[in-house]
Amino acid sequence: MPKGIFKNPIERINKISEAHKKGSYFNCIVCNKEFWRKPFEIKKGNNKFCSKECYFVWQKGKQRSDNFKKKCKEGQRKRNSNRILISPINKLIRQSNEYKEWRESVFIRDNWTCQECGKRSKKDCYIRIEAHHKKPFALFPELRFVIDNGITLCKKCHDKKPKGKEIVCIR
């Protein structure tokens, strides 16, 4: 008989399934149930919990660090990974009528045109414009509503500009 041919088809199926079965068994750290994980899941580190339910049970009992609690108490939260923390006071200022008037005045002065690249919204091509503080909003509270401290930029140019904490200011 040639190599690789089996008398019983079930024997062949079992042999093939064993050859393709790679991975390991693990015990769940919450319920101690045994479960199977494939190699790519093991590589990602998905070998501690048998299910999402067990993960959530474990997460619920986990203690938060003091640093996390402190940030929550101060009311600060991280909006996106590339954004700076905004305190509730600064958020209120940015929603005030005075801030909205400052923003509108900067747009009117610059004729709703990006001062870096010269782009402007047209009927068929929308460009988002934003008011940018030349001297950072958080570091220079006395210049927050000074029109000369503002400049109109498109979204693309504004994202390239450094924000508050990245700037080293010399007063």
Q: Is residue 51 part of a domain?
A: yes
56/108 same-domain check: no
43 plus 103 within the same structural domain: no
Q: pLDDT 10s per residue in the chain (171 long)?
A: 455 555 666 666 666 555 556 778 889 888 988 888 888 888 888 788 888 888 888 888 666 655 555 555 445 444 444 455 556 787 788 888 999 999 999 999 998 899 999 888 777 778 889 999 888 887 888 888 999 999 999 988 988 887 665 554 444
How much is the pLDDT for 18? 58
pLDDT at residue 106, as a whole number: 93
Candidates 123, 135, 124, 126; CA nearest to 156 is 126
In a domain, 54, yes or no: yes
Residues 106 and 163 in one domain: yes
Number of domains in the chain: 2
Same domain, 45 and 106: no
The C-alpha atoms of residue 27 and residue 48 are separated, in whole angstroms, by 7
Q: Is residue 26 part of a domain?
A: yes
Note down the domain range covering 39: 9-60
Q: What is the pLDDT of residue 150?
A: 92
Question: Does a structural domain hold residue 86?
Answer: no
Could you tell me if 108 and 158 lie in one domain? yes
118: alpha, beta or left? (left if phi > 0; alpha if psi -120 to 50): left
Count H helices and E strands in the chain, helices first: 7, 4
In-domain check, residue 82: no
